[in-house]
Amino acid sequence: MALQKQIELENGIVTNYHRIVSVNKIINNSIIIEVASYTSKEKRQEEIKYYNSIDEEKSMNVFIETTYISTEYDESKTIRELYEYLKTTEKFENAEDI
């Protein structure tokens, strides 16, 4: 699962593909969601190919912007629910599931 939304960063780079990379649940305190943003879904696929390759001469040219978003602690939150939460934030409002 991922989100699609065009977001222009302060440096002018436009990202379109956003996925949750990690979730850190600070017991009884908060949930920290790490989101990686890519210029396109194709660049995410390039990253996957790079990490799955055994070629010693492999290379990757993928821009990744990382964002950390904190929310209220709830030990029962699922990844799907966290994606739904992201769509309520200003940065990801109106994003589409892909």
pTM to 2 decimals?
0.90
> pLDDT for 22-37, tens place per residue?
999 999 999 999 999 9
- pLDDT tier at 59, thresholds 50, 70, 90: confident
Among 40-44, 60-64, 75-79, where is mean pLDDT lowest? 60-64
pLDDT score for 38: 98
- At which residue do the structure tokens 């799907």 appear? 80
N-term to C-term CA, the chain? 6
